[in-house]
Structure 1
C-alpha cells in the first residue's frame, strides 16, 4: 500500500500529461481540417471570382496559420 501512495503523484502527472497530449493532437487535427476547408473555399471563390470571399478566407487562413 505504501508503494501505491508513493506512486500516486506520478500517476496523476501522467494522466495530466496524457490529457494534454490528447488535447494537442485533437487541436491539430481540427486546425488541419479547417485549413483544408478554407483552401477548398478559396478555390471556389477564385473560380467564381468572388473577391470579398477570397479576401475574407485568406485573412482567416493567415490567422489560423
Structure 2
C-alpha cells in the first residue's frame, strides 16, 4: 500500500515538473528577448545621443527580474 502511494506521489511530482518546465523555459526566453530589445534601443539612443531615452531604458533594463 505504501509503495503504491509513494509511486503515485512520484508520478504527480513528475507531472507537475513536466508542466512547469515549458512555462519556465518560455518565461526565460521572453525575458531574454525583452532584454535584447532594450539593449538594442540603448545602443540606438547612444548613437542618437538621446540622453533621456538612454536613462529611461537603462532604468528599465535594471528593473527586469
* TM-score computed with the length of structure 2 as normaliser: 0.78
2:12 aligned partner? 12
Cα distance in 2 for residues equivalent to 1:42 and 1:13: 42
2:60 aligned partner? 60
Task: Give the root-mean-square deviation of aligned CA atoms.
Answer: 1.7
* TM-score computed with the length of structure 1 as normaliser: 0.78
Deviations 1:18-41 (A, max 9, x none): 111211111111111111100100
What count of residue pairs does the alignment treat as equivalent? 61
Which residues in structure 2 correspond to 1:1-65 (within 5 Å)? Answer: 6=4, 7-64=7-64
Could you tell me which runs of 5 or more consecutive residues in structure 1 were left unpaired when the two chains were aligned: 1-5
Could you tell me which runs of 5 or more consecutive residues in structure 2 were left unpaired when the two chains were aligned: none
